Structure 1
Amino acid sequence: MKKAIYIIILVLLIDQISKIYIKTHFVLGEEIRVLGWDWFRIHFLENYGMAWGTEFGGKSGKLFLTSFRLLAIVGIAYWLYSAVKHKGHSILITAIALIFAGAMGNIIDSVFYGVLFSDSYQQVATFMPEGGGYDTLFHGKVVDLFYFPIIENGTLPSWIPAIQFTWPDWLPVLGGKEFSLFVNRTFTFFQYVFNVADTAISTGVGLLLVFNKKAFPKKEKKKKLKKHINPPVVVHHYEKQR
């Protein structure tokens, strides 16, 4: 359990220190190149939504998402406790600890940043401003900062067609809305802006996928191994000769 606690504390410290520094030193949208490299940048963005800068239904969606995250945190915490209690593989415990820490890091932003900081639009944010924060409790924005545009302004091959159409009106939710894919022939890879918490979550999930067999050993194999180590004792009964 100590290893898991150390991982959680380390991730939370790096995540929150980096976010607080960005909030109190950068204007929203400001960008710098790290060591002059084009492919590694610090780019300050905020979002109401999920990991990697994706959004979910504005403010009402934000409240739902924050509430869901809090419930998920409880579930992940129990999962971690159960893995430690049942002496799960170190990969499993490490992965869950990373996922828990990442979820906690973004939850802190979502729950508290709205009341702790002033707005970052066209100004550097102030910590604990006199007039109050930029929003209410549970409506804070998640701070994103890492940007790796490894390929910028790349051009799609001509054999990839542009797709554009309007969904039929009778379809629920999507009806009447336009759908487009590959219409813009230029692209950027990797275009997502993210934070340390997102990285921790992705790393944890990646560990579970790559080392799935070690993280989740099958019970049948354990039983076979136990039988091999401790073979059953066979008792022979002989009929008494007259």
Structure 2
Amino acid sequence: MKAAYTRPFLTAAFIILLDQIIKIWVRKHMTLGEEIHFLGDRGMLHYTENNGMAFGMELGGEFGKLALTLFRIVAVFGIGYALVHLIKHKYHRGLIMMVALILAGALGNIIDSTFYGLIYNYAGIFHGRVVDMFYFPLLQGHFPDWFPIWKGEEFIFFRPVFNLADAAISIGVIMILINQKRYFKHETPEVSYPNSEMVEE
């Protein structure tokens, strides 16, 4: 049973540690907006910070920022409780590991939004900015003139800039959705009837 607890939480701890190492390196060695290309124009480190949710989405204003950080903290407690529950009740190992990934991703971004403002002297507690850096604009072009709403506008796939914590959350959620039938499979118990033991002679 110890291994059942240890493996998911060690995995989560490793992801959190690696996420923070990457973020600290980016803050120390890059300036905001700077890019380091490793796949030409299709893959790069692009240093940016955001006040909000995963993949650069934001919830406006100081109150929105505080509310989001506090919500994240409450959510992490809920995810941690769910993870322990899944382990105790011997749910599918794949599901347990995916929930561990989601927990790691949530905690990774909470560290930024809770403490980075204090550590780097630009804001108070709970008002830090999340560091993002991975950018993969795999396809770029313009919508044709006949295309509704966005005609002629530039499109980029994949546009969001993200971090390892965001990736962990996304992988966890996507894998749970893809494998939900396997992860949540229940065995149908055999039904016994009062006369089931009677055998005709």
Using structure 1 for the length normalisation, give the TM-score: 0.76
CA distance in 1, matches of 2:103, 2:173: 11
The letter for the 1-side match of 2:174 is G
Q: Which residue of 2, 12, 24 corresponds with 1:8?
A: 12
**Aligned ranges 1:60-75 → 2 under 5 Å:** 60-75=63-78
| 1:138 alignment partner in structure 2 | 126
Identity in percent: 45
| 2:148 alignment partner in structure 1 | 161
CA distance in 2, matches of 1:78, 1:111: 21
**Aligned ranges 1:32-71 → 2 under 5 Å:** 32-34=36-38, 37-71=40-74
Say whether the 8 Å CA contact 2:54–2:162 is kept in structure 1.
Answer: yes
Instruction: Identify if the C-alpha distance between structure 1 residues 231 and 144 changes in structure 2 by more than 3 Å, giving closer, same or farther.
Output: farther
Report the 3-state secondary structure (helix = DSSP H, G, I; strand = E; otherwise coil) of the residue aligned with 1:143. strand
| 1:102 alignment partner in structure 2 | 105
Flag structure 2 segments of 5+ consecutive residues without an equivalent: none
* Residues 206-231 of structure 1: CA deviation (Å, up to 9, x unaligned): 1111101111113xxx134xx29x99
CA distance in 1, matches of 2:111, 2:195: 58
Q: Which residue of 20, 23, 27 corresponds with 2:24?
A: 20
CA distance in 1, matches of 2:18, 2:193: 51
CA distance in 1, matches of 2:188, 2:127: 50
Report the 3-state secondary structure (helix = DSSP H, G, I; strand = E; otherwise coil) of the residue aligned with 2:188. helix
**Aligned ranges 1:178-193 → 2 under 5 Å:** 182=150, 185-193=153-161
Tell me the C-alpha RMSD between the 2 structures.
Answer: 2.1
Aligned-pair CA distance for 1:184: 5.5
Q: Does 2:57 correspond to 1:89? A: no
Report the 3-state secondary structure (helix = DSSP H, G, I; strand = E; otherwise coil) of the residue aligned with 2:123. coil
Q: Which residue of 162, 187, 195 corresponds with 2:163?
A: 195
The letter for the 2-side match of 1:236 is M
Aligned-pair CA distance for 1:236: 3.3
Instruction: Identify if the C-alpha distance between structure 1 residues 184 and 195 changes in structure 2 by more than 3 Å, giving closer, same or farther.
Output: farther
Matched residue pairs, number?
Answer: 196
Using structure 2 for the length normalisation, give the TM-score: 0.91
Report the 3-state secondary structure (helix = DSSP H, G, I; strand = E; otherwise coil) of the residue aligned with 2:15. helix
Aligned-pair CA distance for 1:43: 0.3
Flag structure 1 segments of 5+ consecutive residues without an equivalent: 118-132, 163-181
Q: Which runs of 4+ in 1 moved over 2 A?
A: 230-238
Say whether the 8 Å CA contact 2:41–2:137 is kept in structure 1.
Answer: yes
Instruction: Identify if the C-alpha distance between structure 1 residues 232 and 64 changes in structure 2 by more than 3 Å, giving closer, same or farther.
Output: same
